[in-house]
Amino acid sequence: MSKFPTKKNETSIDILTNWVSISMALIFALPSLGIFLGIYYGTGNLIIGVVLGFGVNIVTLAFSGRISKYLDKIMN
């Protein structure tokens, strides 16, 4: 069970967890998807778009621990 807020300005842990999860999902998904679609529609080359999008995804996932700690520190 989650802790209910005792003061008016205190935020529930469920809301904070959801914001951190949503922010992480956006940070991990949107850059690689944007690069893939941008290269594919800009040049028409599917292979280059896939390779660069996948590369950005791997680099983003390599720093996922740091990103998660930073977002947790900001939002809590």
pLDDT digits 0-9 by tens, 41-54: 999 999 999 999 99
CA dihedral (29, 12, 67, 39) in degrees, to 10, reads 20
Neighbours of 65 (CB within 10 A): 9
pTM attached to this predicted model? 0.69
Which residue type, as a one-letter code, is found at position 34?
Answer: G
Domain range annotation of the chain:
13-75
Residue count of the chain, please give it.
76
Q: Hunting for tokens 């996948």 — which residue is that?
A: 54
* pLDDT at residue 24 in the model: 87
